[in-house]
Structure formats: C-alpha cells, structure tokens
Amino acid sequence: GKNVKIIQKIEELEMYRAFLIKYAEIGLKGKNRYIFENALRDRVQAALDRIGRYHVVREQGRIFVECPEDSDYDETVEALQKVFGVSGICPVVVIDSMEWDDITAGVGAYVEEFYEEQNFTFKVEAKRASKQYPMTSPEICAEMGAYLLGRFPALRVDVHHPEVSIHVELRTKTYVYSKTIPGPCGMPVGTGGKAMLLLSGGIDSPVAGYMIAKRGVAVEATYFHAPPYTSERAKQKVVDLARIISDYTGPIRLHVVNFTDIQLSIYETCPHEELTIIMRRYMMRIAEHFAKKSDCLALVTGESIGQVASQTLQSLLATNAVCGLPVFRPLIGFDKQEIVTIAKKLKTFETSIEPYEDCCTIFVAKHPVTKPVLADIEKSEQLLAEKIDGLMETAIQTA
C-alpha cells in the first residue's frame, strides 16, 4: 500500500532468509508445467551460482531460493530480476519451527522488522502443506490476525483491500512473506528451443538477442569480422556485448567468421549500390549454415523497418530469399529511441556506442538501393559464381 514503508534490508533479522519465486502459470497446464518449472529452477540456480552458494529448491509447485549467510540482498534481487520466467520475487523469512508460539512470535518479529510503522490495514493468508497440522487455514488466519492486532494496536484488518497481505505458509518450517518485487516475466531460456543471432557491434542486435531470449529461446551468435578493415577492438566489443546479454540469455556460443575475402570479392565484382544487400545475403547463408549445425530453429537480427536502406521491406525480402530457416526480427516495429531505451536498461548501450568500425561501415555505397529487385540481385550474384563457393567454404572452415 502507498502509506506503507518497507524496510528492505533483513540482514538484522535473526531468522534465516530465502526468496519465493513467483511465475505466471498461464498456459502451463499438465505436462508442460513441470518442464517449465524444472527449467526455471535450473535457470535461477545458474544465475545465482555466478554470485554465491545458493540453494534453489522446487517443491509443491513453488520455487524457493535459500541464501547463504554472507549473501547480499540487493545483489541477489538483481540477479533474480534477470531470470526470464520469474514474474515476482518475494523476500521470505523462514522460521525454523512449527510450534504455534514460535510462529506467532516470528511473524510478530517479521512485522516489526519489515515495517517502520505498524499502522496499516492487513490480512493474513495462510497455507498448510500438510493437512496433519492441528489448525485449519481459516483458523490460522483468524488466530494470527488476533495475535497481531493484540501486539500492534494501530493495525486494522481489511480482508478486501488490505495494504499488506501477510502470507504464512506452514511446511516443514514456516515461511513468512508480504512483499513482491517484480521479475522480468517471459519464459525460462531453453524452453523455446534455440536460435542463431546475427550479432554485430551495434545497438540493435544485442537488444534483439535479449528479446528472443525473453520468450524462452536460447541464443547462439555469429559475428562477421573483416580484418584489417575492422579492428580487434571491434571484435572485442562484440564479445563484450555477448557477455553482457548472457546475464539474461545464459551462456552464448559466438562464431566469429572472417568475412574479408567475401566482402572484397563482392566489392570488386558487383554493382556498388547493391553491396550491402548482397553482403547481407552472404551473412545470412553462413549464419544459417552454423544455425543448422547447432540445431537452431531460426535466425534473429536487429533489423527494424526503414531504419536504413537495407531494412526496407524490399531489402528484407531480398535477404530472406536465401534463408530456409525463418528469420525473426524482434525489433521490427520499434523506433530507434525505443531500442536505445532498452539498450540502456540492459547496459549494452555504452559498449555499443564505442567508436570502432563495424564491418558494414567501410563497404557502404554512397547511394545504396532502397528497393532492390530480387531478380537483379540474383543476377549480380551470378558474377561471383566462379569464386564464391570456395570463399564461403574457407570462411566456414576458419570461423
């Protein structure tokens, strides 16, 4: 509620700390549900393994995170906020007892520690894991409510619109929570198969990778490098970007393809206004080769309609024509500013705007075609026929 100030730090509290992970359950009926839950458990564990010795358990349709003694509250929450599939993060206090007097005392201490002033409206929501417990859920709610009213005279009960819902769950220990921090939502990475991201050093493609991962798709990436026209620093920038988004996507395998000879060959042979589009078609062909080898079911790019000449509908059509796999463009309807906003949130933006040349900037024509005709592009590509297969082969072998 708006008047309730919550103390976020629970370090001082003697009782031990955990988080309850909430997830959206829509569409997760039957068989799919446990696949989703196991994947989410694994993703949460993997995210937390990077910062400490956490223990993530799945039981009775719940995922709990048990924190090590030395864990940092903010760091833990920040890591959990990057795990797709998590819709809410509830800091939980665990009372290591099932005795009613311990439970009431513990919940009282919780209310005292977590809220600066005990003057809000509330209700108690109780759950019993075992029907063996001598009180029913309504009895637990009523007795706990009465206890809290007695201990904190300024509290008021409001069962319809409480400012605070105090959840008390009795399992083998007692779990208490009342606050939900929003998660990133989406689906656990890996539950939606895998896709090949064409990752450049720009602003857009890392954001596209993040967005596809949000829907549960694992990401592999291909970068086209053109030394000496593009520097080692430009390549390092792509590695850095992959590393940043891997906080969300999980580990990314990055294929670095030496694209220089193909680019030079196109440059020497084909009409310059078609350079970008032809180059893009060869990128797609090579990315698709690696995609199929790694069981990726789609290609992903950072394109958005009309952003540059190679991103008109005609250009996208000409690019798609070489692909057997579907090409997903999660940013297709986004304005640049909207993409930048996400890039800043992900913290890829600062890296993306580092000034090192990426492979397109050197071979860009002054007046690229904005409405390429597929038949013309195919005709121009035939001029490459003699050498291109060998060059593609080499690029693939040396990646």
List residues bridging with 221 in a β-sheet: 197, 254
Neighbouring C-beta atoms of residue 83, cutoff 10 Å: 25
Q: Min. distance of Cβ 236 from ligand ATP in angstroms? A: 14
Exposed / middle / buried, residue 40 (Cβ in 10 Å: 0-12, 13-18, 19+): buried
Residues 55-84 that bind ligand ATP (CB under 6 A): none
**Residue 223, interface with ligand ATP (CB under 6 A)?**
yes
CA angle (288, 290, 295) in 5-degree steps: 90
**Residue 314, interface with ligand ATP (CB under 6 A)?**
no
How do strand 55-59 and strand 62-66 relate by DSSP bridges? Answer: antiparallel
Query: In the β-sheet with 327-328, what is the strand arrangement from edge to edge?
Result: 254-258, 218-225, 194-198, 299-300, 327-328
Task: Tell me how far apart the alpha carbons of residues 94 and 106 are, in angstroms, rounded to a whole number.
Answer: 9
Q: Min. distance of Cβ 189 from ligand ATP in angstroms? A: 19
Q: Min. distance of Cβ 223 from ligand ATP in angstroms? A: 5
Nearer to ligand ATP, 46 or 308 (CB): 308
Among 104, 200, 301, 304, binds Mg ion (CB under 5 A): 200
Q: Min. distance of Cβ 254 from Mg ion in angstroms? A: 16
Q: Min. distance of Cβ 305 from Mg ion in angstroms? A: 16
Residues 148-177 that bind ligand ATP (CB under 6 A): none
**Residue 203, interface with ligand ATP (CB under 6 A)?**
yes
Nearer to Mg ion, 100 or 356 (CB): 356
Question: CA 304: distance to chain centroid?
Answer: 20
Backbone dihedral region for residue 175 (phi beyond 0: left; psi -120 to 50: alpha; all else: beta): beta
Q: Return the amino acid letter for 290.
A: F
**Residue 286, interface with ligand ATP (CB under 6 A)?**
no
Among 118, 122, 176, 204, binds ligand ATP (CB under 6 A): 204
**Residue 199, interface with ligand ATP (CB under 6 A)?**
yes
**Residue 118, interface with Mg ion (CB under 5 A)?**
no
Nearer to ligand ATP, 48 or 275 (CB): 275
**Residue 202, interface with Mg ion (CB under 5 A)?**
yes
Among 51, 142, 264, 308, binds ligand ATP (CB under 6 A): 308
Judged by beta carbon distances under 5 to 8 A according to partner kind, the member of ligand ATP, Mg ion, none in contact with residue 351 is none
Nearest of 38, 39, 68 to residue 51 by alpha carbon:
68
Judged by beta carbon distances under 5 to 8 A according to partner kind, the member of Mg ion, ligand ATP, none in contact with residue 288 is none
CB contact at 8 A, 219 and 299 = no
Nearest of 98, 95, 51, 94 to residue 72 by alpha carbon:
51
């906020």: which residue's tokens? 81
How do strand 88-95 and strand 16-22 relate by DSSP bridges? Answer: antiparallel
Residues that bind ligand ATP (CB under 6 A): 198-200, 202-205, 222-224, 283, 301-303, 307-308, 310, 358-360
Residues that bind Mg ion (CB under 5 A): 200, 202
